[in-house]
Amino acid sequence: MIEKPPLTLYLAAPRGFCAGVDRAVKIVELALQKWGAPVYVRHEIVHNRFVVDGLRDKGAVFVDELDECPPDRPVIFSAHGVPKSVPAEAERRNMIYVDATCPLVSKVHVEAERHHAEGLQMVMIGHAGHPEVLGTMGQLPPGEVILVETVADVTAVAPRDPQRLAWITQTTLSVDDTAAVVAALQARFPAIVGPAKDDICYATTNRQAAVKAIAPVIDALLVIGAPNSSNSRRLVEVGRSAGCAHAQLVMRAADIDWRALSGIRAVGVTAGASAPEVLVDEVVAAFAERHDLTVEVVETAQERVEFKVPRVLREPVAR
């Protein structure tokens, strides 16, 4: 029998589902129980094909825009948030809708509205075209929020009044890259106001810290997550910046580039906030097939955050 090469697999903790994702998935499941299929969902409820396919099998129908939904079926808005125009349109069409926006994204929406009410224009740090950015910027009239992605973008910011400015962020950014953009904004606009640190959520922060903790001892990092998942992609970048040159984003075990991993002695595994634990199990099992595997869990924080589902889904089904 050929001996399997030894490998230590460092499993980052926390990893995978955050409280906002957990709630969003539950909302779709409860809506299907309450109203039956089909229930429409505007945008992928979270950025994970495995989760989306599972809900589709139960009767969810995923659409890009509200006008693809019939007015007589319930519609759910994804965890990433929506511009104000979306619930407004659902109300105009008399639709039943449930907003699965993560409460930590909604908190940024409220913060943006508060700055606006005080007459401040905003700079949002985020990724152009991402649904959360479209949703947050869409809380306010056009021109009220200026988007910057990088330190270099700060040079081009041309506010109405540099004395009346605030900054906000997307919740899933790189903690370190964001700190650099904030510093550039503060240097250019000393009067700018903002949150105590940033708007990056606890889950994003914790998952990045866990990757930093394992990066020095691993030869390669696998991040389980989708290519359109912002927080998952940031984990790959964080791994690389923390010294792990080989970092792969994989949707599941079948995507692993085994050739790139040949000869390694230690691998790190983590999962983005939208990746279910079953895909982590699958990846660990794939390593166990090829290696004499030792699994070490490296826990850098414990998470006890939970969010309630909206009241309409906590009420008993009318018979």
Binding site for ligand 0JX (CB under 6 A): 20-21, 46-47, 79-80, 102, 105, 132, 171-172, 229-232, 272-274
Of 18-26, 84-92, 115-123, 287-295, the window that binds ligand SF4 (rule: CB under 6 A) is: 18-26
H/E stretch holding 177 reads: helix 175-188
CB of 93 to ligand 0JX, least distance (A): 26
Q: In the bound complex, what is the minimum distance in angstroms from residue 274's beta carbon to ligand 0JX?
A: 3
CB of 233 to ligand 0JX, least distance (A): 8
Spell out the residues 6+ positions from residue 56 whose beta carbon is closer than 8 angstroms to its own. Answer: 62
Query: Burial, 141: exposed, middle or buried (Cβ in 10 Å; 0-12, 13-18, 19+)?
Result: exposed
Contact partner, 203, from ligand SF4, ligand 0JX, none, Cβ < 5-8 Å per class: ligand SF4
Rounded Cα–Cα distance for residues 105 and 95 (Å): 23
On the 0-12 / 13-18 / 19+ scale of CB atoms within 10 A, 84 is middle
**Minimum CB distance to ligand 0JX, residue 307 (Å):** 12
d(CA 112, CA 123): 10
Q: Does 104 bind ligand SF4 (CB under 6 A)?
A: yes
Query: Counting contacts by CB under 6 A, is residue 102 touching ligand SF4?
Result: yes
| Residue 85, CA distances (Å) to 71, 96, 112, 134, 135 in order | 16, 15, 16, 11, 9
Rounded to a whole number of angstroms, the minimum distance from the CB of residue 35 to ligand SF4 is 23
- Cβ(173)–Cβ(128) below 8 Å: no
Residue at 152: amino acid letter: A
Rounded Cα distance between 112 and 106, Å, is: 10
Query: Other CB atoms closer than 10 Å to residue 278's CB: what's the count?
Result: 11
Q: CB–CB of 44/9 below 8 Å?
A: no
Q: Report the residue closest to ligand SF4, judged by CB.
A: 20
Report the alpha-carbon distance of residue 12 to residue 209 in Å, rounded. Answer: 9
Q: Which of the 8 DSSP states describes residue 223?
A: E
Q: Is 171 in the site for ligand SF4 (CB under 6 A)?
A: yes
Whether 299 is catalytic = no
> Which of 11/19 has CB closer to ligand SF4?
19
Query: Least Å distance between CB 279 and ligand SF4?
Result: 17
State yes or no: residue 204 binds ligand SF4 (CB under 6 A): yes
Binding residue (CB under 6 A) for ligand SF4 from 9, 21, 30, 215: 21
Interacting positions 32-71 with ligand SF4 (CB under 6 A): none
273 is a contact residue toward ligand SF4 (CB under 6 A): yes
Residue of 29, 132, 299, 306 marked catalytic: 132
> Judged by CB, which is closer to ligand 0JX: 139, or 231?
231
For residue 124, state whether it binds ligand SF4 (rule: CB under 6 A).
no
Binding residues for ligand SF4, rule: CB under 6 A, are 18-21, 79, 102, 104-105, 171-172, 201, 203-204, 231, 273
Provide the annotated active-site residues: 132
